[in-house]
């Protein structure tokens, strides 16, 4: 479906098998996927380490990361993302093979949207969709693709987009 | 021969109708009844049968529902997904087995490192549904926590044995699946 094809997920996991698995899970749910094997690679792609402002080539709607990774853990990655002005609004989901309540709470408190237990299932991927929809609705691209031709009544976009629509109508 | 589960069960679990090639379909013309029967038997043999109401779980097979999840993810876009994952699993786990063997040979065993390696290994096993191996991995980690070199060494032999046994079963399984051909 055209709508889902706009959703791009960045998956981070040091395990090759788990990367293959998460990639397939996400692709079969019609998401675009980029899979990397470390937090530092993820940050590189997101443009954080080089402090790039113009990284339109790499837009991401959700980051899903393993917790236990050598070097930078999923938690470290989560913190760096939430501390970044450019990236803090991207929803982050943590995966872990270990069910440790204190770990789960720590991640949720730091701003993770969900905490998934491995092995991740198709039903877990379904849980991600509302988070993606929320983040996308703030995005102008989504608005342009889906609301431009609609009237104000039909389009349930946030106020910012609504005002823009009004501007467009005025200009025509 | 005792039947592990009803035919209907196997149909629901093992047969991915979305894939035209990878898995045989019940009554498919590409399989004669003899190989279909063989397939059922092998598929049933490798899967764990979890019977409702049983207090004691009998592990009659080697794999759990995670393997079925892999099969369900296989489709025309990714027609060899299961075999690819299994191949990755065996090459990756071979590496970890070597590392763990070396770690166990040291005179002064670093149990924390050992536990870390086993955590990685167990994760991979869990992702492919290798239930028997996973259970032994849990046992191994308990011996790590208890700082028992003997326990770790003994359990690791069992792990390697189960790992190799599963490999043989999966090889036979994929051979049968691949020889069944296209629809």
- What is the arrangement of strands in the sheet containing A62-66, beginning at the earlier edge strand? A32-36, A8-12, A62-66, A92-96, A114-117
The residue of A11, A13, A16, A17 whose CB has the most chain B CBs within 10 angstroms, and thus the best one to mutate to test that interface, is A17
Q: Is residue B43 scored above 60 in pLDDT?
A: yes
Rg of chain A in Å (alpha carbons): 17
- The reply to whether B66 touches chain A by the CB within 8 Å rule is yes
**Confidence (pLDDT) at A129:** 85
Q: Which CATH class is domain B83-168?
A: mainly alpha
Stretch B85-96: mean pLDDT: 96
In sequence order, the 6+-apart residues with CB closer than 8 A to the CB of B13 are: B47, B68
Test A17 with B88 for CB contact under 8 angstroms: yes
A85-91 contacts: CB < 8 A, separation 24 or more? A86/A47, A86/A48, A86/A53, A87/A46, A87/A48, A89/A135, A89/A138, A90/A60, A90/A61, A90/A62, A90/A63, A90/A135, A91/A61, A91/A62, A91/A63, A91/A131, A91/A132, A91/A134, A91/A135
Stretch B25-42: mean pLDDT: 58
Regions of chain A short of the pLDDT cut 70: 1-5, 48-57, 134-172
Q: Which residue ranges make up each domain of chain A?
A: 8-136, 137-172
pLDDT > 70 fraction of chain B, expressed in percent and rounded? 64
Instruction: Write the DSSP symbol of residue A107.
Output: H
Contact residues, chain B, for A121 at CB < 8 Å: 69
Contact residues, chain B, for A28 at CB < 8 Å: 73, 75, 77-78
The residue of A11, A19, A20, A35 whose CB has the most chain B CBs within 10 angstroms, and thus the best one to mutate to test that interface, is A20
**Confidence (pLDDT) at B174:** 85
Q: Which residue has the higher pLDDT, B123 or B63?
A: B123
Searching chain B, which residue's CA lies closest to the CA of residue A18?
B127
The answer to whether the predicted template modeling score (pTM) of the entire model surpasses 0.80 is no
Return d(Cα B183, Cα B169) in angstroms, integer. 24
The domain A8-136 is placed in CATH, from the list 3.30.70.250, 3.40.50.1100, 3.40.50.2300, 3.40.50.300, at 3.40.50.2300
Test B123 with A20 for CB contact under 8 angstroms: no
The per-residue pLDDT for range B142-160, each reduced to its tens digit, is: 999 999 999 999 999 999 9
């Amino acid at each position: 479906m055209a709508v889902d094809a706009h959703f791009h997920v960045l998956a981070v996991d040091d395990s090759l098998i788990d990367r293959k698995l998460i990639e397939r899970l996400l692709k079969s749910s019609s998401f675009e996927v980029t899979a990397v094997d470390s937090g530092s690679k993820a940050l590189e792609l997101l443009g954080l380490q080089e402090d790039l402002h113009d990284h339109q080539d790499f837009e991401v709607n959700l980051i899903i990361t393993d917790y236990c990774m050598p070097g930078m853990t999923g938690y470290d990655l989560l913190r760096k993302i939430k501390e970044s002005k450019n990236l803090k609004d991207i929803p982050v989901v943590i995966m872990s093979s270990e069910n440790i309540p204190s770990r789960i709470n720590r991640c949720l408190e730091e701003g993770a949207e969900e905490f998934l237990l491995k092995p991740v299932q198709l039903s877990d991927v379904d849980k991600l969709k509302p988070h993606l929809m929320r983040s996308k609705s703030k995005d102008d691209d989504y608005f342009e693709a889906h609301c431009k031709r609609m009237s104000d009544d039909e389009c349930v976009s946030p106020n910012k987009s609504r005002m823009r629509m009004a501007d467009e109508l005025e200009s025509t | 021969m005792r039947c592990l589960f009803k035919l209907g069960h196997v149909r629901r679990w093992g047969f991915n109708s979305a894939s035209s090639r990878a898995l045989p379909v019940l009554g498919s013309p590409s399989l004669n009844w003899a190989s279909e029967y063989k397939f059922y038997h092998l598929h049933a043999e490798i899967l764990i049968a979890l019977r409702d109401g049983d207090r004691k779980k009998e592990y009659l097979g080697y794999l759990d529902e995670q393997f079925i999840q892999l099969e369900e993810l296989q489709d025309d876009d990714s027609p060899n997904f299961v075999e690819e994952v299994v191949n990755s699993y065996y090459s990756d786990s071979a590496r970890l087995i070597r590392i763990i063997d070396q770690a166990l040979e040291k005179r002064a065993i670093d149990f924390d490192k050992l536990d870390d390696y086993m955590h990685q290994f167990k994760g991979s096993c869990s992702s492919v549904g290798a239930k028997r191996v996973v259970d032994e991995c849990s046992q191994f980690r308990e011996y790590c926590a208890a700082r028992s070199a003997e326990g770790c060494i003994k359990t690791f032999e069992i792990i390697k044995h189960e790992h190799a046994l599963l490999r043989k079963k999966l090889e036979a399984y994929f051979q049968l699946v691949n020889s069944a051909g296209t629809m």
